[in-house]
Amino acid sequence: MAQKKKLYTAAVGYSVDLAMQEVPIGDMPTEDFMQGAIWSTKQKLNFSKNHPAVFKLIMQSYANPPAALAERLHAYYMEALQVQDVYMNQIFEKVTLRADVVSQDAHDLVRALFDYIIKMATDYIRENPDATMEEMQPLVDKFMNMMAIVERGMIRKT
pLDDT at 11 over 80: yes
DSSP character for 82?
Answer: H
pLDDT digits (tens, 9 = 90+) for 98-117: 899 998 898 888 888 877 88
157 phi and psi, to 5 degrees?
-80, 130
Side chain identity at residue 149, one-letter code: I
How many other β-carbons are positioned within 10 Å of the β-carbon of residue 68? 12
Q: What is the pTM of this model?
A: 0.64
* Nearest partner of 24 among 80, 108, 99, 105, judged by Cα: 80
Domains of the chain: 2-152 (1.10.357)
C-alpha R_g of the chain: 17
pLDDT digits (tens, 9 = 90+) for 64-90: 788 877 787 777 777 777 767 776 777
pLDDT at 142 over 70: yes
DSSP character for 153?
Answer: -
